[in-house]
Amino acid sequence: MQQYWVIGGEYRDTSFKSPASGREEWIGPFDSFEQAKKEWARLAWSTVDDATTRYRIESMDPDESPPCTD
């Protein structure tokens, strides 16, 4: 069963590669994309004036191993 996470937060600059706190926030999991989108919209609108804050939705299947990042 797919699970959805809202990932992001405040970053050091607008390249959005380095989180300001050293780690991205992970909110979830959500059982549906619609639930995750609702939380994403809430977070995105609450930080709409912050140029270095961004959130995205990621999906994962907990029954599969995570992709290799090497």
The CATH number of whichever domain residue 10 belongs to comes to 3.30.70.2400
pTM of the shown model: 0.82
Q: How far apart are the first and last CA of the chain?
A: 26
- Domain extent for 19: 3-60
- Which residue bears the tokens 């994962």? 60
| 7-61 residue pLDDT tens | 999 999 999 999 999 999 999 999 999 999 999 999 999 999 999 999 999 998 7
Does the pLDDT value for residue 70 go beyond 70? no
What is the count of structural domains for the chain?
Answer: 1
Residue 23 resides in a domain: yes
Residue 45 resides in a domain: yes
Residue 39 resides in a domain: yes
DSSP 11-54: BSSTT--SBTTSS-EEEEEESSHHHHHHHHHHHHHHTTT-TTEE
